[in-house]
Amino acid sequence: MAAQRWFTSLERCYRVNVRSVIGQQMSLGSVDPSDVELDGTSRHGRPAMTLWRALVLALVKPARHCHFSRLTGRRESLRRMSVGDKHGVRLARIVALAVLAAAPGASAPGDLESVAAVDFESQVAPVLESRCYACHGSTQQMSGLRLDSGEAALKGGHSGPVILPGNSEGSRLIQLVSGQVNGLAMPPAGERLSPTEVGLLRRWIDQGARWPEQPEPSAVRAGPRHQGHWAFRPVRRPSPPAVRGEAWVANAIDRFVFARLEREGVEPSPRAASETLVRRVSLDVTGLPPSPAQVEAFVADESPDAYERLVDGLLESPHYGERWAVQWLDLARYADTDGYEKDSERPYAWRWREWVIDALNDDKPFDQFTMEQIAGDVLPGATVEQVVATGFHRNGLKNREGGVKIEQFRFEETVDRTNTVGTVWLGLTVGCAQCHDHKYDPISQQEYYRLFAFFNALDEAEIEASLPGESGPYLRALPDYRERRRRLLESNRVYELQPAWEARMIEAADNPGKWTDWDHALDALQKYLDNGEGIVRKPPEDRSDRERAKLEDHFVKNYHRVITKQFREELGWDALRERLLRLRAQTPDITYARAVTEADPPRATHIHLRGAWNRTGLAVEPGTPAVLPPLDASGEHSRLALARWLVSPQNPLTARVTVNRIWQEYFGRGIVPAADDFGTRSAGPSHPDLLDWLAADFVAGGWRLKRLHKTIVMSSAYRQSSRTRPALAERDPDNLLLARQSRLRLPAEMIRDAALQVSGLLDPTVGGPSVRPPQPDGVADLAYAGSVDWDPSQGRDRYRRGLYTFLQRTVPYPQLANFDMPDRTAASCMRERSNTPLQALNLLNDQSFVEAAQALALRAVPEGGSGFERALERLFRLALSRRPRPGELAALLEYYRRQEAIFEAEQETAERFMPLDAPGLTASQAAAWTGVASVLLNLDEFITRE
């Protein structure tokens, strides 16, 4: 009988008498015997398998993915049992508990044994070996704890000793294996230690935790286990394979792609139509649709190098730098404000963006591009531009909220910097190791903090970074400005009052908690003036002009915190502030930049237990993860050594990660689909050799991005039609094989750009400060306590490309957010391409897009509005880079006529919808044409790269 077999197999597995255990439990009154029938089924006839399953689940089901399992796995799994079979559950629970209690170790603990001496070799070591070594042994030392050597075991882990000889009660080891300490229990998954085992460990510790002499085990690190992972192997340059369809091959990329297709027996798609191709490559390389003239010229050009010349021209366009800066801004979590609460503006954040656009347009090699951003400030003979590049580290969030501890937030910023570099260059989510080790992750917590140490050593700095043409007027105006400022400050008693205020600040800093109001004042100084306390502590003669001015400004603005209202009114410094601001605004100034510098003196770095800013463990030195090639730090500044390591030819990740991300933009999907996860759990590349060839070629070609872009867009794979093929759609719905191109919705910024470009409204100026195009009323009001003021830009600044739109983190520009611009709180490697009703409303009803439709209509429709077909064709060529098909012409003609008729009847509405001035057109004509133009701007095709 089945149940009999079940019991027998249980007994065989666990060498226990299940029936007698059940009997014991029953006799103890913990169960109503009528609940159980001895053939192993519940009274309600559920088969014994349910119980068996419960038991197996109870024994093998791992707890939550995280170590901090909330309960022992056992109880959990039992609760997991199917609903409505409570008797079965109950029985299974009893059986499981019984089996567990009686499992290995056999004999029950008795009083006699509590005094018997425990033998380490025969009794303790087997328990440690079977239950602990997997994570705390020679191959891995989770939380820094190693239990296979006496010395290491007694030393403990990152949080200190776990074994206190003679004191089992106080030993963390016992606390964790015998119960749970605030949700943490050991082992974290699977079966718990039996009472017998715990008893053994307890007695061994109480008896002095004697560890026999043994040779020190070799120091094996976590690393090698993972070195077989494909992404950590060195990049080799595979030979492009021979393929049968040579005619299809334009470059090496095609050999890899086509070889795979041949293996799978799938044909590639034909080349896209010329109109499609020129639009595709223009949008991909510059982010802007081509002009009708460009399309016409390309379509008419039959020379064999026509496409290559087109590509070269696009890569030389300054708009290339703008388009590809967008991807880098996502990675660098760029924004124009601090984020958090008041979300203050960062007036010069854009200066770093300027550097990125210029670097891309200059085709600065990616290794150089990397080194300058990671460590430009410490490059030998660093130029201003190289220091500006370090603004990369300044793009994270900043919390200036009162009460946030400076050191806490500095820790969080350093975590953010570490994680960002991990994602951007290594394609690894290193942040997982911030809190503790993960058994299957390639980076340990200790290694995380070694990486962290590079960034722990930096301080924030503001530097003069004037742009061409700024310095002359600034220097000429300076003496007069200073004199006028000095007079203002002097006549308002600033110089007279400031020294006492500074002295109190220093006193408050030295005696925290003594004077609450001065504590708050000091907090404000530290939050709102970078290095505020440091400046106050400097003797006035050592302060730079800018430091002096900033401190004075802060003093004038924040003095009210420590004076009476009456005195404040008497001083009238609100008015003084206004006058200072006005004076500043009237005087030519230069641009500054947000950068970093080395901390002096350097800071020591420790492991932070459980990732908490204020719980530090062992000290660590800067270093790189063991799974990756070693760092060469010979005599060089450490952050610079890290930068060189990132782009050393031996580093297997940086080149792979970078080419994959570029590829992703051209095909809608990376060769490695999760561009931000090259770790051991990544899905892996669809074309491993292609990825390596691209990476190797990228490095061999001098890390030139433009060369990489060109290689990709010159391939036949890129130039294929994006039309779906029914048979292929069945076979390869996600287009992994690349037997066609993909239609991809444009990124948020480029939808705006395209509408402005085709309507002729775009101001193509490259670079400069961020702008605030008009947005609906009330959007900015959603920010914290009215702290955001969206004063729309005027004139041409209303029509700049999307990447220059002021990025207010707490209330981002709605059109950009609607079309999936990332929130820029952390590095983002992949954008969503959503398709929502809010997007429809945005394109249909947003005044900016209506304005674009009006301008497009005016641009396309000749004065007098004659020749419907010609005008419509022009509209199509402007908006969609192609001519309309007959069916489209007919549909739009019908639409136009109906609209004209309606507007004819409703002159008033026509006047509101038409452009302000439409020479030669009646109001109803102009409104109807606006409608037609708006239809085109709303088409899926308009916002899609085909």
Of residues 284 and 851, the one with the C-beta less far from another protein: 851
Distance of CA 261 to the CA centre of its chain: 34
Q: Which residues contact 920 (CB under 8 A, 6 or more apart)?
A: 863, 864, 865
Of residues 886 and 919, the one with the C-beta less far from another protein: 886
Q: Using an 8 Å Cβ cutoff, are 162 and 156 in contact?
A: yes
Of residues 376 and 747, the one with the C-beta less far from another protein: 747
In angstroms, the Cα distances linking 72 to 58, 67, 185 are 10, 11, 8
**Of 151, 312, 146, 140, which Cα lies nearest the Cα of 220?**
140
Of residues 249 and 914, the one with the C-beta less far from another protein: 914
Q: How far apart are CA 848 and CA 799, in angstroms?
A: 9
Give least dist CB 181 to another protein, A: 4
Count of residues making up the chain: 946
Give least dist CB 939 to another protein, A: 6
Of residues 53 and 64, the one with the C-beta less far from another protein: 64
Give least dist CB 152 to another protein, A: 23
Q: How far apart are CA 929 and CA 946, in angstroms?
A: 26
Give least dist CB 424 to another protein, A: 17
Of residues 322 and 676, the one with the C-beta less far from another protein: 676
Residue spans of beta strands (DSSP E) within 465-603:
592-598
Of residues 60 and 583, the one with the C-beta less far from another protein: 60
Which 3-state string (H, E, C) describes 624-683? CCCCCCCCCCCCCCHHHHHHHHHCCCCCCCHHHHHHHHHHHHHHCCCCCCCCCCCCCCCC
Give least dist CB 812 to another protein, A: 9
Q: How far apart are CA 184 and CA 880, in angstroms?
A: 60
Give least dist CB 743 to another protein, A: 5
Give least dist CB 235 to another protein, A: 23
Of residues 114 and 847, the one with the C-beta less far from another protein: 847
Residue type, 639: R
Token pair belonging to 479: 């003496």
**Of 261, 281, 249, 259, which Cα lies nearest the Cα of 713?**
281
Of residues 823 and 873, the one with the C-beta less far from another protein: 823
Q: How far apart are CA 287 and CA 801, in angstroms?
A: 10
Of residues 402 and 795, the one with the C-beta less far from another protein: 402
Three-class SS of residue 602? Answer: coil
594-623 as b/e, with b when 16 or more CB fall inside 10 Å? bbbebeeeeeebbbbbebeeeebbbebebb
Give least dist CB 86 to another protein, A: 8
774-809 as b/e, with b when 16 or more CB fall inside 10 Å? ebeeebbeebeeeebebeebeeebbbbbbbbbbbbb
Give least dist CB 938 to another protein, A: 5
Report the largest interatomic distance among the alpha carbons of the chain, rounded to a whole angstrom: 110
Give least dist CB 239 to another protein, A: 29
Of residues 445 and 934, the one with the C-beta less far from another protein: 934
Give least dist CB 895 to another protein, A: 4
Q: How far apart are CA 386 and CA 519, in angstroms?
A: 38
Give least dist CB 303 to another protein, A: 29
DSSP output for 153-222:
HHH-BTTB-S--TT-TTT-HHHHHHHS-BTTB-SSSSSPPPPHHHHHHHHHHHHTT------PPPP---S
Q: How far apart are CA 210 and CA 213, in angstroms?
A: 9
Q: How far apart are CA 390 and CA 398, in angstroms?
A: 16
**Of 207, 147, 150, 151, which Cα lies nearest the Cα of 176?**
147
Token pair belonging to 671: 């060769």
Of residues 88 and 931, the one with the C-beta less far from another protein: 931
Of residues 518 and 555, the one with the C-beta less far from another protein: 518
Burial grade of 426 (CB within 10 A; 0-12, 13-18, 19 or more): buried
Q: Which residues pair with 160 in a beta bridge?
A: 157
Token pair belonging to 430: 């290193």
Of residues 38 and 905, the one with the C-beta less far from another protein: 905
Of residues 194 and 899, the one with the C-beta less far from another protein: 899
Token pair belonging to 407: 């050191």
Give least dist CB 619 to another protein, A: 23
Give least dist CB 898 to another protein, A: 6
Give least dist CB 76 to another protein, A: 7
Q: How far apart are CA 471 and CA 405, in angstroms?
A: 38
Of residues 412 and 589, the one with the C-beta less far from another protein: 412
Burial grade of 200 (CB within 10 A; 0-12, 13-18, 19 or more): buried
Give least dist CB 631 to another protein, A: 29
